[in-house]
Amino acid sequence: MMRLADVGDYRKFWTASTTSIFGTYITSLALQVLAAVTLHATATELGLLNAARWLPYLLLGLFVGVLVDRYRSKPMLVGADLARAALLCAIPLLHATGLLTLPVLIAFAALLGVLSLFFDAADQAFLPRLVPVEMLTSANARLEQSHAVAQTTGPLLAAALVKAIGAPLAILVDALSYLISGVLLARIRTREHAAPLATRRSVLTELREGTAWVYRHRMLAPQALAGHLWWLAHSMLSTILVVYVLRAPDDGLGLDEVQLGITYACAGAGAVLGGALANRSGQRFGAGRTVVTTRLLMPLPWLLIPLTGPSPLAIVVLGTSQLLFWVLMGLEGPNEMAYRQAITPERLQGRVNTTIRSLNRGAIVVGAPIGGLIADAAGYRVSLWVGIAGLIASAAVLAASPVRHATIPTSATLDAQAPT
């Protein structure tokens, strides 16, 4: 029986992804330090810098999905990686020559977002071509585990690099990671074919086709709608959590930055553990039942936070909450992604994935400020309860849908999974 480790092209793909994601965490911190310390950016300007990174997903995501379905994914992946490496090399060069300003840095962040959008869209479309459908859950779980480790240790590595060599030079480390990733991806031998010219229609027609596949599909439609609601609620919770944890005891938990870092470490450990169990859960209970059950359980760890007041045990409760939540995330994510990739025709992979991803990113842009506004108007605990209510609503949408019966199809049953 073939194992995931036996798929040489997937090994290159996974190594490339792991290398670049660590570099991304370095740049995320280094850009903010460069803006705040060197360029003396205000809080509003930092917000613009961070928003510039995600704006391309909202503006261009659906159109990029059409392009990914028209052309081969591998050249896009390699080209995006090499272009990101070159773009990041320009930032320390401009800084050294005194030409780096905040508007220029924001423009670079937006360009980096465009390239990352192309990479992410092609990345999700390319994976189903590298491994058999039966291995998609394991393949996605392995990638999720890498991201979890990067999420846990990446910020620490970034902080150490920024402190040791400065933010501009730290950005060069990310440039190197993209270069390594591009070289590894270029060595993948899996053959692809661009969509024949005769099958191409107008961009808007193809865009509508991809959107219709998602929102008319009896399984994908509730999954996508529940996902948008989940991202809205989670962006509220994750925005409020940092401030609530660090606020003084009369208004929050009164913990410090080190204890907050411990919380993130617990979250990363939970994601790794959940990812390790994802394939086994999908095989035993089915992908749909795993997704629905974990989504139903996700509000429970968050309930511990508003119910906990300042005390010596607050860090224990907080760490346990995030550990359990991210175990559920690690179980759910690979099964949800594998099911979506398995039932989506190859010609629609780019459009389907970018449709869902783009609207999820839109939910983040809306949810984060809403969470902050509710917190300022009614208090942190109230805003946490509202976010938890959103998670419950997302779970209810899934539980009431046919998604609970979804299983990863084999090649023989793919034709039966059609939009209605």
For 371-384, how does the pLDDT look when each residue is reduced to its tens digit (9 = 90+)?
A: 878 888 888 889 89
In this prediction, residue 415 has a pLDDT band, given cuts at 50, 70 and 90, of very low
Same domain? For 182 and 271 the reply is no
Percent of the residues in the chain that have a pLDDT greater than 90, as a whole number: 31
Place of tokens 């990863």: 408
In this prediction, residue 416 has a pLDDT band, given cuts at 50, 70 and 90, of very low
Q: What is the pLDDT of residue 417?
A: 47
Q: Which two tokens stand for residue 339?
A: 């099911």
Domain interval for residue 285: 210-415
Same domain? For 153 and 215 the reply is no
Query: Mean per-residue pLDDT for 392-405?
Result: 94
Same domain? For 301 and 395 the reply is yes
Q: How far is CA 186 from CA 65, 73, 189, 276, 300, in A?
A: 21, 11, 8, 28, 44
The string of DSSP codes covering 204-236 is HHHHHHHHHHHHTSTTHHHHHHHHHHHHHHHHH
Same domain? For 122 and 215 the reply is no
In total, how many domains does the chain have?
Answer: 2
DSSP H or E segment with residue 106: helix 102-130
In this prediction, residue 418 has a pLDDT band, given cuts at 50, 70 and 90, of very low
Which of the two residues, 234 and 154, has the higher pLDDT score?
Answer: 234
Domain annotation covers residue 107: yes
Domain annotation covers residue 201: no
Same domain? For 136 and 76 the reply is yes
Residues 6+ apart with CB under 8 A from 328: 274, 294, 297, 298, 301
Domain annotation covers residue 24: yes
Of 30-44, 245-259, 342-356, the poorest mean pLDDT is in: 245-259
- The domain that contains 140 carries what CATH number? 1.20.1250.20
Which of the two residues, 338 and 239, has the higher pLDDT score?
Answer: 338
Domain annotation covers residue 332: yes
Q: What is the pLDDT of residue 189?
A: 87
In this prediction, residue 347 has a pLDDT band, given cuts at 50, 70 and 90, of confident
For the stretch 207-243, pLDDT in tens is 888 889 999 999 999 999 999 999 999 988 887 887 7
Residues 6+ apart with CB under 8 A from 376: none
Among 187, 202, 229, the domain boundary falls at: 187
Q: Is pLDDT above 90 for 313?
A: no
Q: Is pLDDT above 80 for 48?
A: no
What's the whole-number average pLDDT of the chain? Answer: 85
Which of the two residues, 264 and 331, has the higher pLDDT score?
Answer: 331
User: What are the DSSP E strand ranges found in 31-182?
Assistant: none
Domain annotation covers residue 194: no
Same domain? For 170 and 108 the reply is yes
Query: Mean per-residue pLDDT for 16-20?
Result: 89
Domain annotation covers residue 299: yes
Q: Is pLDDT above 60 for 45?
A: yes
Same domain? For 144 and 274 the reply is no
Same domain? For 371 and 280 the reply is yes
Same domain? For 219 and 180 the reply is no
Q: What is the pLDDT of residue 292?
A: 96
Among 126, 153, 187, the domain boundary falls at: 187
Domain annotation covers residue 193: no
Same domain? For 254 and 370 the reply is yes
Q: Do residues 362 and 138 make contact, with C-beta atoms less than 8 angstroms apart?
A: no
Q: Which two tokens stand for residue 167?
A: 């933010």
Q: Do residues 297 and 348 make contact, with C-beta atoms less than 8 angstroms apart?
A: no
Q: Do residues 53 and 112 make contact, with C-beta atoms less than 8 angstroms apart?
A: yes
Question: Which SS3 state, helix, strand or coil, does residue 192 take?
Answer: coil
Residues 6+ apart with CB under 8 A from 181: 16, 17, 19, 20, 81
Same domain? For 172 and 237 the reply is no
Same domain? For 136 and 229 the reply is no
Choose among 352, 347, 348, 355: nearest CA to 196. Answer: 347
Query: Mean per-residue pLDDT for 297-321?
Result: 89
Say what angle helices 73-96 and 8-33 make with each other, to 10 degrees: 30
